[in-house]
Amino acid sequence: MKYNYFKHLNQLIIGVMAILILLFISGISMAKEMTPEEAIRWGIENNRELTNIRYSIEDLKHNLKILSAAEAFQVDFNIKPIWHFGGSSGGYSIEMEENRFAPSAEASLTATKVLMPDLNLSTQVTWESERLGQDFFDSLVNEINANIKLDKKLYPDTWTEREKQVYSIENSLKMKLEELRWTEMEKQIEFIQHYLNIVRLQEQVEIARKQVKLAEEELSRVKKQIALGEGGYQQETAAMIALEEAKNQLFNREQNLVRAKKQWELLLNLPEETIVQFVEDADFIKMLFSQMENVTMDNSPDDLIEQALSENYQVKNSELEKEELLKELQWARDAGKPAVNLSGGYNYPKDNWFIMLDFSVNLADGGAQELKEKQKEDTVQRKDVSIDYLINRLRLEAEQLIDQDQYNQLFLATQLLALEKEQNKVKIMEQQYQQGAISLAQFNNSMITLKDKELNMKQAQDQWLVDRLKLAHFMGFLQEEL
């Protein structure tokens, strides 16, 4: 019995372990792997800021559909039962029919259609009945009234309210589309910048790990020397401090790397369990370096700045806003003019056609119309000032990007020279180590320094690439997905 108990227990343990292994494997298989390019494309479609802009675009398109639907026939039906209590004789009577109140009724059926922006067709059918009972429908024909009418605005030749709404929404849609196109490119550059930062942080972590290993080896060597009577407390303390500093640096860099990856995932709004390999020699990064090296910046700074201003979405949208403000100013002036409308139609049961000319003019309004026009004029002037400020700010930003590009080229050249110098130094130290002139620890430390120089050079390259992308985007050279 004892043997069987342990046998069943072993089987149970093996079964549980098998289930856990299957769950672990299935969990790994559920994780979705993405290439850097796929992750960036995902980010373009799912980044929260870009998504909010797209939501705004969809809302504007929906509003246009609502206005378009309003051009179709609009039909409304209205009925009002009315109960009458008492009469002119002072008596108090209630009309009854089959033990129920028998109200009178008023009903109307109205239909309207926009034929042209300033031409409307309307028709109305109304009827009244003194008793809403069994004979109600029998009396409809005798009590019905109907008319059909066309309305045409003659003066002033201004936009209808619907035309104004459509224009305003279409203008907003144009601006949102420009903003989306521009922001999509900005976000792609931001994604690439974060990607390169993570790659370099990974290298920093690797360097820090090597530094910890060297510090551990140095502490071990010092302890051996102390055991042989060749060292003292100060050497050991210095080695221990160096090791702790190396560990602290490693911890800090590892935390920076973890935070950077979380920020990347949040920025791109990646699904959970997504795995992206951050590799240095990604093909799309090589392609970007090649593209940016071929971007010509041979024009004078003034020409580049003028090109940047002509392509900037903020300038384009500000001009659209000013155009709308000018139209609103004209509409405000038109509102103060005399109005002349022409209408014509047919009445039933009178059986007569009619034409009517409607003329109206405001004789006194306490100066309200003048104040409205003045307000619109002031708004246009303020917009001009705003556009001037925007152009000056963008001009300064363009100058900074151009200057930064030149500085990055010089700084990269300096880092390449520093790296070349360090490489020559390491070659000399390697020979010295082989000859026994320096220790292995000294040689290893020189290799760490060389790694730092290589990392500095790579970071300078990354900065040049990112700032060149920003400059090319600002100049309008980047129109499509990178």
Q: What is the pLDDT of residues 391-423, one digit of tens each?
A: 999 999 999 999 999 999 999 999 999 999 999
Mean pLDDT of 372-390: 96
Q: Which residues pair with 149 in a beta bridge?
A: 122, 345
Please state which of the ranges 61-65, 91-95, 232-236, 265-269 shows the lowest mean pLDDT: 91-95
CA 277 to centroid of chain Cα atoms: 26
Report the number of secondary-structure helices (H) and strands (E) in the chain.
11, 10
Q: Which residue has the higher pLDDT, 8 or 329?
A: 329
The answer, yes or no, to whether residue 25 has pLDDT greater than 50, is no
Q: Give pLDDT tens digits for 82-93.
A: 776 655 544 444
Give me the pLDDT at residue 7, please. Answer: 54
Please state which of the ranges 291-300, 356-365, 390-399 shows the lowest mean pLDDT: 291-300
Give me the pLDDT at residue 102, please. Answer: 54
DSSP character at residue 299:
S
Q: 123, 110 in Cβ contact below 8 A? A: yes
DSSP character at residue 136:
T
Give me the pLDDT at residue 140, please. Answer: 57
Q: In the structure encoding, which two tokens stand for residue 109, read together?
A: 């059926």
Q: In the structure encoding, which two tokens stand for residue 49, read together?
A: 């800021």
Q: 268, 46 in Cβ contact below 8 A? A: yes
Amino acid, single-letter form, for residue 469: L
DSSP character at residue 135:
T
Q: In the structure encoding, which two tokens stand for residue 416, read together?
A: 């390449």
Task: Tell me how far apart the alpha carbons of residues 59 and 70 are, in angstroms, rounded to a whole number.
Answer: 17
Please state which of the ranges 12-21, 279-288, 329-338, 390-399 shows the lowest mean pLDDT: 12-21
pLDDT band at 24 (very low <50, low <70, confident <90, very high): very low
User: Which residue matches tokens 């071929």?
Assistant: 294
Q: In the structure encoding, which two tokens stand for residue 295, read together?
A: 């971007």
DSSP character at residue 139:
G
Provide CB contacts within 8 A for 176, sequence distance 6+. Answer: 53, 56, 57, 60
Provide CB contacts within 8 A for 250, sequence distance 6+. Answer: 205, 208, 209, 211, 212
Q: 336, 158 in Cβ contact below 8 A? A: no
Helix, strand, coil shares, percent, the chain, to 5? 65, 15, 20
Q: 110, 76 in Cβ contact below 8 A? A: yes
* Radius of gyration, alpha carbons of the chain: 40
Give me the pLDDT at residue 131, please. Answer: 58
Q: Give pLDDT tens digits for 168-218.
A: 999 999 999 999 999 999 999 999 999 999 999 999 999 999 999 999 999
DSSP sequence for 397-430: HHHHHHHHHHHHHHHHHHHHHHHHHHHHHHHHHH
Give me the pLDDT at residue 32, please. Answer: 85
Compute φ and ψ for 107, nearest 5 degrees: -135, 150
pLDDT band at 225 (very low <50, low <70, confident <90, very high): confident
Distances (CA, A) of 436 to 429, 432, 439: 10, 6, 7
Q: Which stretches of 86-160 are DSSP H helices?
A: 140-143
3-state secondary structure of 128: strand
Q: Which helix (H) or strand (E) holds 353?
A: strand 352-360
Distances (CA, A) of 266 to 35, 55, 226, 270: 17, 19, 52, 7
Q: If 0-12 CB within 10 Å is exposed, 13-18 middle and 19+ buried, where does residue 138 land?
A: exposed
Q: Tell me the average pLDDT of the chain.
A: 87
User: Which residue matches tokens 């990007």?
Assistant: 401
Give me the pLDDT at residue 79, please. Answer: 83
Q: 465, 420 in Cβ contact below 8 A? A: no
* All structural domains of the chain: 34-69+160-280 (1.20.1600.10), 70-155 (2.20.200), 283-336+363-482 (1.20.1600.10)
Task: Tell me how far apart the alpha carbons of residues 226 and 184 are, in angstroms, rounded to a whole number.
Answer: 63
Q: Which residue has the higher pLDDT, 84 or 354?
A: 354
Task: Tell me how far apart the alpha carbons of residues 95 and 99 are, in angstroms, rounded to a whole number.
Answer: 10
Distances (CA, A) of 319 to 182, 302, 383, 386, 391: 16, 22, 9, 11, 11
